[in-house]
Amino acid sequence: MVQIDGFKFIDGGVCAAKGFVAGGINAHVKKNSKKNDLAIVYCETMCNAAALYTQNKVKGAPITVTKKHLENGKAQAVVVNSGNANTCNANGIEIAEGMCELTAKALGLSADDIIVASTGVIGQQMTMEPFNDNIPALAKTLSADGWNAACEAIMTTDTRKKMFAVEFELDGKTCHIGGMSKGSGMINPNMATMLGFVTTDVSITSAMLDKALRTVNAVTYNMVSVDGDTSTNDTLAIMASGLAGNNEISAEGEAFDKFVKGLYAVMMNLARETARDGEGATRLMECIVTNAPTQKDAQVVAKSVISSSLLKAAIFAADANWGRILCAIGYADADFDISKVSVDLASKAGKIAVCENGAGVDFSEDEAYKILSEDEIQILVDLHESGNGEATAWGCDLTYDYVKINAEYRS
């Protein structure tokens, strides 16, 4: 976990913020499943809300329904399943709307005030059978302690739960932001992650909530890649109960900036964990680019480096094949002089220079191997341009297990 000054990390996930409860249950969405695969997050009051979605032309039916429900910037609950993406199904809209209707009836809400999401196998037939009894049963168990069960329910090939929450002050009021997300494979976010849900008790308008979400997403989830595939079901949603009692944030300023920083603390750590938990991964790759002409140039270069399959394979072997880093930098669509570029490799085992002025330098292969054998690797790229653009991107190594997991995904 990366600490951020001024923000205290606490337990609670999506239930850390005032007014929110959650829960998860095994609804057997996927036959023979032995884990929770259905979750609900509910707030005791109507929330201002915003969401971002995949840019894939193929979109899961829940996205169509959720977009419609959030046209007014309001929501009070989330219902989400894993095990079946509800994508490319003739009855997909009917299923997504049916999930909302069942949840609404169980919680005494309007179906239009519910966010719905699904993740899992694409193009598999789906029925309402797993939800007819299990949604009402789950609704009766929601509690402030249900954040763990809810997080488990959204996992597919994930090997670890991804949950963070922070506490901070605004206008003398104690405020909270908490979140959970899932994603391990088919990760190359384009406006969102596979599934992410954030809750807060900060009082903030829907418009400013949307602005904050877009701002932070651009430097967190959008800077992650596991395998270069953009999911059909990417959904990142945030709900704000306003129960902290701060003065409502309705414009940019000091309060908005602090909220954005808190949101970054949660989403950046969720994004890092998404990369760390890439399917079959053994190492987290973090590429930090400095002294780029612009932030956009830095982002393009950093994302290019962590997306290189050749580099990812080299990192798996702890091989300091720095030429693959230069290659990935070189085909990045950014403005810089490659002859000025320097690259260092670093981890808790040390730091070593492998490239200066676009060319290799003498270094100890044994020392480099030791550095690259740690579970968190930093690739430090200095473009040495006159601008002050900086960016960080996160990825993971490419292992034999990635192929095995995806070869057997439907089974």
211's enclosing H/E stretch is helix 206-218
Query: What is the DSSP pairing of strand 8-9 with strand 20-25?
Result: unpaired
Q: Of 257, 227, 31, which is closest to residue 124 (Cα–Cα)?
A: 31
Question: Which three-class secondary structure state does DSSP give residue 76?
Answer: strand
Question: Which three-class secondary structure state does DSSP give residue 183?
Answer: coil
| 329 residue type, one letter | I
For residue 367, count other CB atoms closer than 10 A to its CB: 15
Which candidate in 66, 87, 157, 193 is catalytic?
193
CA distances (Å), 27 to each of 93, 137, 227, in order?
20, 10, 29
Return all residues near 323 (Cβ < 8 A) that are at least 6 apart: 360
Q: Of 175, 192, 194, which is closest to residue 184 (Cα–Cα)?
A: 194
Return all residues near 360 (Cβ < 8 A) that are at least 6 apart: 322, 323, 354
For residue 20, count other CB atoms closer than 10 A to its CB: 30
Which tokens in the block code for residue 173? 């009021």
Which tokens in the block code for residue 126? 């789906």
Give yes or no: 159 in active site: no
Nearest-angstrom CA–CA distance, 147 and 209 = 22
| 381 residue type, one letter | V
Q: Which residues of 271-289 are buried (b: 16+ CB within 10 A; e: fewer)?
A: bbbbbbbbbbbbbbbbbbb
CA distances (Å), 22 to each of 66, 81, 129, 144, in order?
19, 13, 22, 6
Measure the CA angle with vertex 203, ends 198 and 205; round to 5°: 85
Phi, psi at residue 314, to the nearest 5°?
-65, -40
Return all residues near 74 (Cβ < 8 A) that are at least 6 apart: 46, 47, 48, 49, 113, 206
Nearest-angstrom CA–CA distance, 129 and 255 = 46
Question: Which three-class secondary structure state does DSSP give residue 179?
Answer: strand
Residues marked as catalytic: 193
